[in-house]
Amino acid sequence: MALIETVRAERLAKTERLKEAGMEAYPARTDRTHTVDQFLENHETLLKNSEEVILAGRVMSIREHGGSLFVDIFDGSVKAQVYFKKENLAEGLFDNFLLLVDTGDIIEVGGVAFTTKRGMPSMLGNKWHMLAKSLSPVPDQWFGIKDEDERFRKRYLDILLTKDLADRIRRRSVFWNTFRQFLLERDFIEVETPVLETTTGGADARPFITHHNALDMDVYLRISAGELWQKRLLVAGLPKVFEIGRIFRNEGMSYEHAQDYTQIEFYEAFKDYEAGMEMVTNLYRTVADKVYGTRVFKIKDFTIDLGADWKRYDFCELTKKEFGIDPLTTSADEVQKVLENKGIQYEQKGFNLERGMDTMWKQIRKTLGGPGFLINVPVSMEPLAKKSSVDPRVVERFQVILGGSEMGKGFSELNDPIDQEQRFKHQQALRDAGDEEAQMFDHEFVEALEYGMPPAFGFGISERLFSFFEGVSIREAQIFPLLRPR
């Protein structure tokens, strides 16, 4: 720490000496003519024409060699080498560079294209000035920051020093924009729905609570990307809508779980979950093709080929095979006994049949590689999906299964207001009995359904899919994950 403070003091002194030399340490403007990648891409033409070029970037390294300087600068695209000879610079500029410029500083350099004896495209510099003096030293780019907590706290340095991480952020942008473009090409409308809600809905999750001072009431941060709001838009006559937005769940942290993350949800009237499975298969393949150029991924211990035929997993059949009970006729007591006999840990507070069945399912899920769809989930476990026309004890819901995890959920949306009201009542009873993840009774949504909502398909997927494609934890895949303050 003492060394860092000493370095900072030295660099502060250099800012004063820059002023004495007639230079600003933090000017507002630059005369940059090319990005570094543009300069290198057009290097041959610039060299032929002896065209004057101005670049700007962060100093990544400085190498002095017999009255000459080799300086690597980086502007967020690629690095370029600038070669300074003392005789090519105005009086004092070369010496001032040695005295006042450090690695980490952001500078502007002017000169012409130049090729070294070793054939490296470079710039022969004839001027420079400071754009932003760095007061704290940037860690060595070869070693970076090794401590995970420090990497997350100083993510800006981690990104600066780690090309793979910077590239991941670029892929993240392509990932979400591929979803967006896929839907826009199919005439979906992008919408924004409330983040603050008086009743949470659209998922089984524990919400964050905050206080709205102007209205003097507690509100919840949403736990879904506007599911019940988007379905109101179907009532309103907008047949295709979607939202990409942040959602918040006040739950545990793990390799796959974060408390705030990005999710996309979309809804299409006059379609059902069978059409939805076909659409989602196409969607995931499109994302894989455009973001990664492959449909084959290594996820956990599974090799997944999105281009292969997608399997169908029957919830009830899998449960019978693994645990010897029928989800459609079993009881909470029976499920609890099975869990205890098999030594499976479960949440005892507010325990009920639905939570018990979900715990069993999570054990089964770990063994399924996919790609595939989980279907035939009991009605009691899904309050927002239509009952199956083949077997009304289960719903028309599917979950995408990849690498032993759930990677998206969709269903034929429940549009019967009477049925929806009864499902909400059941969820509220579970909530009143201590299940904090059970859904709240949204009376206003039921009222909207009473005006008539067309049959529809809905689907949602979070950034967990991106993290799995990347082969990293969801925290690692986020740009700035949440941290406890020091």
Region of poorest pLDDT, from 66-75, 346-355, 398-407: 346-355
- Using the predicted structure, report yes or no on whether residue 249 has a pLDDT greater than 80: yes
pLDDT in tens, 16-32: 999 999 999 999 999 99
The fold adopted by the segment(s) 159-477 is BirA Bifunctional Protein; domain 2 (3.30.930)
pLDDT band at residue 385, thresholds of 50, 70 and 90?
Answer: very high
- Asked whether 454 and 213 are in contact (CB, 8 A), the reply is no
Task: Provide the pLDDT for residue 480.
Answer: 94
- Asked whether 478 and 449 are in contact (CB, 8 A), the reply is no
pLDDT in tens, 273-305: 999 999 999 999 999 999 999 999 999 999 999
Alpha carbon 218 to chain centroid, angstroms: 28
Tell me the backbone φ, ψ of residue 169, rounded to 5 degrees.
-65, -40
pLDDT band at residue 4, thresholds of 50, 70 and 90?
Answer: confident
What region does 314 belong to: left with phi over 0, alpha with psi -120 to 50, or beta? beta
The domain defined by 2-138 carries CATH number 2.40.50.140: yes
User: How high does pLDDT run on average in the chain?
Assistant: 93
Domains 2-138 and 159-477 share a fold: no
| Segment 368-378 mean pLDDT | 96
Task: Provide the pLDDT for residue 144.
Answer: 59
| Segment 372-384 mean pLDDT | 94
pLDDT band at residue 177, thresholds of 50, 70 and 90?
Answer: very high
- Using the predicted structure, report yes or no on whether residue 253 has a pLDDT greater than 90: no
| Segment 29-41 mean pLDDT | 96
Task: Provide the pLDDT for residue 142.
Answer: 55
| Segment 389-415 mean pLDDT | 96
| Segment 214-234 mean pLDDT | 94
- Using the predicted structure, report yes or no on whether residue 160 has a pLDDT greater than 70: yes
Output the pTM of the full model. 0.90
- Using the predicted structure, report yes or no on whether residue 2 has a pLDDT greater than 80: no
Q: Strand, helix or coil at 427?
A: helix
- Please indicate whether residue 481 or residue 143 has the higher confidence score (pLDDT): 481
Domain boundaries, the chain: 2-138, 159-477
Task: Provide the pLDDT for residue 282.
Answer: 98
- Asked whether 302 and 262 are in contact (CB, 8 A), the reply is no
- Using the predicted structure, report yes or no on whether residue 143 has a pLDDT greater than 70: no
| Segment 154-167 mean pLDDT | 92
Task: Provide the pLDDT for residue 1.
Answer: 63
Enumerate the β-bridge partners of residue 107. 57, 130
Tell me the backbone φ, ψ of residue 65, rounded to 5 degrees.
-150, 100
- Using the predicted structure, report yes or no on whether residue 203 has a pLDDT greater than 90: no
Region of poorest pLDDT, from 95-99, 252-256, 261-265, 274-278: 252-256
> Helix and strand tally (H, E) in the chain?
16, 20
pLDDT in tens, 304-359: 999 999 999 999 999 999 999 999 999 999 999 999 999 998 888 878 898 899 99
Angle at 308 between CA 317 and CA 291, to 5 degrees: 120
Strands 106-115 and 53-65: antiparallel
Q: Strand, helix or coil at 375?
A: strand
pLDDT band at residue 454, thresholds of 50, 70 and 90?
Answer: very high
Tell me the backbone φ, ψ of residue 31, rounded to 5 degrees.
-100, 25
